Structure formats: C-alpha cells, structure tokens
C-alpha cells in the first residue's frame, strides 16, 4: 500500500512538472501540443497492442472521442500558452480553479443537483483568485488564459465521465490523443497563415527539446496515465482525487526550485494561492463526508 501511495504522488509530481516542461521546450504551444499528442497516441497504441486490448469501435463513438480529443488539444495549447504569458506559478494558480469549473459544469451538463457546499467553496476560490490577480497585475493575461484552460479541462472531464463508462480507459485515451493530434494537423494551414506572423510552422526541435518532449509525452502522459488507471484498482477515489489536487503545490515548488528568482512572487500571490488550494483540498473531504452521511443506514426496528 505504501508503494502505491508513493507511486501516486510520483505521477502527480510528473503532472505538476508539465508546465515547467512546456516552458523549457522551445517550439510554440501549438506545435508543442502536436508533438505531444503524436507521441502520446503512438505510445497508447503500443500499450493497447502489448495488452492485447480491442481498439475497434463504431464510427459514431469514434467521432465523439475524436471531438473530445480536439477539446483536449485546445486545453493543452491554452495551458502552455498561459505558462509562457506569465510564470509557471501564476499558470498553476489559474489551473487550480478546475474544481470550481467542474462544480459549475456538472449540474448544467449532467443534470446533477447543485451542491451548496461546492458553491461556497467556489466563492472562496474567487476570493483567492482576486488576491492573486491584484498581487500580479502584470501577469493578468497568463492568469486569465490559465483560468480558461481550467474551464476547458473541466468540460473535457465532465464529458469523459460519460464516455469512460462505455470504453476502457486506454482505448478511450488513444482515440482522444489521436483526435487532438489530427485536429491540430487540420488547423495547421490556418494557423501558419494567420497566427505565426509570417514565420510559418516551427516544428523543428533544438537542443534538449527531444529529451523534454519525450519526458512530457512518455512520462507525464503515457506512463502517468497508465499508472493512474492501475492504481484506481487498489486505491479509493477519495485518496486519488485528494492527491491529484496537490498538483499545483508540487508544480509551484518545482518551478521555484528550477527557475529560482523568476518564480518568486509577492506575498499577496501566495496568500491567494493558499486560499485557492485550501478550497480545492477541502472539497474531496467534504464530498466524502457528504456521501457517507447519505449512505448512513436507517435504524432497523427490532422484531419481537
């Protein structure tokens, strides 16, 4: 069990390292996500073949998964763009609003009842965001793009919650990574003409780009995902969700260690980030308590 906990924290550490890798790789965000999804879909295909899992599904389901994959591509592009428009720390503070977005989108898309404690935690998150934005006004563009990226991630997660019931996780991820890669490839002609200031596509990798990219696609995507799926068989959803919420904490600490003074923020930033992270970390605890309360059996009358 201890080994499983350590592996879980290691993959969350890898996810926290993602924004740092995005800043280290020299190619622009669109080309970066193209390379990441191309290598990740190839890795998922190898895993499917190695585990001899069925990959064929109906055309309608393929279209749905490819469409969600396109949404993943936009989420990752905005995520890496946010890290470059601001610091890694500000980007991860914005991404910590994922729980707030999910609490808003789930009732709308899945017709689930609104949970009032989620509304309260959402308001607390907004307070934290206000503190962060006031402390780092010069990085407001990156923060706003990160919040948008978190919203896209929440939308992707809500849609996936229904798709994962019909498809094994590896097969689902293979099609979504393929859809992300394909959607970017189809977008390339428009992107290269209107969004590159005449410089065209910049797919060439330089220096350590290949190393960082292989770590991003192989370690932070294929390995981390397949390991998380395996751990879900032995660890509770509560433990996994609570640990995953530590991703911004790990990411900010790693960014400070790697980039040093570039990632040192004002006191107001850290105060706002603590408020956001508190609302994120306390959410699964309250959710678990609420589920236990609802499952509490009614007293059984004695039969005389």
| 298 within domain boundaries | no
For residue 209, give every residue at least 6 positions away whose Cβ sits within 8 Å of its Cβ, in sequence order, or none.
25, 26, 27
| 301 within domain boundaries | no
- Predicted TM-score (pTM) of this structure: 0.86
Q: Evaluate if residue 236 carries a pLDDT over 50.
A: yes
| 300 within domain boundaries | no
Whole-number Cα distances in Å, 130 to 114, 138, 206, 275: 24, 14, 39, 10
| 261 within domain boundaries | yes
| 44 within domain boundaries | yes
Q: Evaluate if residue 131 carries a pLDDT over 90.
A: no
CB 12 within 8 A of CB 250: yes
Q: What is the pLDDT of residues 179-195, one digit of tens each?
A: 999 999 999 999 998 88
Task: Quote the number of domains for the chain.
Answer: 1
CB 267 within 8 A of CB 33: no
Angle, CA 210 vertex, CA 205 and CA 216 arms, to 5°: 120
| 304 within domain boundaries | no
**Range with the poorest average pLDDT among 10-19, 21-30, 53-62, 96-105:** 96-105
CB 252 within 8 A of CB 83: no
| 221 within domain boundaries | yes
Question: Residue 76 has what pLDDT?
Answer: 94
Question: Residue 225 has what pLDDT?
Answer: 81
What residue numbers bound the domain in which 260 lies?
2-290
Phi, psi of 301 (to 5 degrees): -70, 140
Q: What is the pLDDT of residues 244-267, one digit of tens each?
A: 778 888 888 888 888 887 777 888
C-alpha 242/C-alpha 35 separation (Å) is 30
Q: What is the pLDDT of residues 261-303, one digit of tens each?
A: 777 788 888 898 888 888 877 877 787 787 777 776 544 444 4
| 238 within domain boundaries | yes
Q: What is the pLDDT of residues 31-85, one digit of tens each?
A: 999 999 999 999 999 988 888 888 888 999 999 999 999 999 999 999 999 999 9
CB 229 within 8 A of CB 35: no
Angle, CA 47 vertex, CA 170 and CA 182 arms, to 5°: 65
């Amino acid at each position: 069990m201890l080994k499983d906990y350590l592996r879980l924290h290691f993959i969350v550490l890898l996810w926290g390292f993602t924004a740092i890798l995005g800043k280290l790789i020299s190619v622009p965000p669109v080309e970066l996500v193209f390379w990441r999804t191309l290598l990740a879909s190839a890795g998922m295909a190898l895993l499917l073949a190695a585990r001899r899992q069925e990959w064929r599904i109906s055309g309608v389901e393929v279209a749905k998964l490819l469409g969600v994959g396109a949404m993943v591509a936009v989420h990752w592009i905005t995520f890496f763009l946010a890290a470059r428009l601001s610091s890694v720390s500000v980007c991860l503070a914005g991404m910590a609003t994922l729980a707030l977005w999910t609490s808003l989108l789930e009732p709308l898309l899945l017709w689930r009842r609104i949970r009032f404690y989620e509304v309260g935690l959402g308001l607390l998150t907004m307070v934290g965001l206000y503190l962060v934005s006031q402390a780092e006004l010069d990085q407001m563009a990156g923060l706003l793009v990160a919040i948008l990226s978190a919203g896209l991630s929440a939308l992707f997660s809500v849609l996936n919650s229904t798709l994962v019931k019909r498809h094994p996780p590896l097969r689902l991820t293979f099609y979504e990574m393929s859809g992300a890669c394909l959607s970017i490839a189809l977008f390339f002609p428009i992107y290269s003409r209107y969004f590159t200031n005449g410089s065209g596509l910049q797919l060439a990798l330089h220096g350590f780009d290949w190393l960082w990219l292989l770590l991003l696609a192989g370690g932070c995507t294929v390995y981390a995902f397949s390991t998380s799926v395996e751990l879900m068989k032995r660890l509770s959803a509560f433990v996994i969700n609570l640990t995953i919420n530590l991703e911004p904490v790990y990411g900010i600490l790693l960014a400070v260690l790697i980039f040093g003074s570039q990632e040192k923020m004002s006191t107001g930033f850290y105060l706002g980030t603590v408020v956001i992270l508190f609302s994120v970390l306390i959410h699964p605890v309250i959710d678990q308590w609420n589920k236990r309360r609802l499952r509490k059996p009614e007293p059984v009358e004695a039969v005389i």
